Amino acid sequence: MRTVGQTSSVPHFASEFRTEEHVKATAAATNSQNDGSSLTYTFLRPAAFFENLSNDFFGRCFPTMWRLNGADKPMQFIATSDIGRIAAAAFAAHDSPKYKNKAISLAGDSLSLNEASWIFREETGLHGGLPEMYAWLGGAVRFAVADLRVMLKWMDQKGFGVDVPNLRQRYPHLKDFRAWVREESAWRK
């Protein structure tokens, strides 16, 4: 399961950790005032977004950079619409033990680039698989954007570790890659 930590090598994960710690401290201070008010929180920790796979410059660079981790190496993804649905459920049921003062790691699918390309071909009829950039260009973008480089290296070495089957039992609406390509991607029919 994806955790955030102060010592994370991924800068935006370390920033998330500081934000979460601030929210927890604020909730503790507010709740200790005994004035009848209470502050609760739910932290959503999404895996990579399916929307990173788009039909534009970055969307073509992302699979090229993913390939640098290995075309058979799985990566976990989630649709941003699914994050929104879970966030709405957390707001609506903020006092539920399911959400109250919890952190939930989110992923709707775990698949390799080769698997994603195969599904993409099946769903779109495009024989080239996921659109990519020249390898040297993807490598250059990955090198030039330090936060991206560090995050992709972390994904390769550690990964998000979300228990996708268990999460899909809790949230049956979660889209896998096939459903996302078919329903929400730039290539939907």
| Confidence band for 35, pLDDT divided at 50, 70 and 90 | low
**Helix, strand, or coil (residue 164):** helix
Q: State pLDDT tens for residues 134-153.
A: 989 888 988 898 888 888 88
**What is the predicted pLDDT for the residue at 182?**
97
**What is the predicted pLDDT for the residue at 28?**
86
| Confidence band for 27, pLDDT divided at 50, 70 and 90 | confident
Q: Which class for 125: exposed (0-12), middle (13-18), buried (19 or more C-beta within 10 A)?
A: exposed
* Domain regions of the chain by residue span: 11-30+40-183
**Model-level pTM?**
0.89
| Confidence band for 2, pLDDT divided at 50, 70 and 90 | low
**What is the predicted pLDDT for the residue at 4?**
55
**What is the predicted pLDDT for the residue at 121?**
95
Query: Residue 75 carries which side chain, given as an amino acid letter?
Result: M
Across the chain, what does the average pLDDT equal? 90
Question: Diameter of the chain by CA atoms?
Answer: 63
Output the CA torsion sign for 42, 53, 163, 151: negative
Q: Please state which CATH class domain 11-30+40-183 belongs to.
A: alpha beta
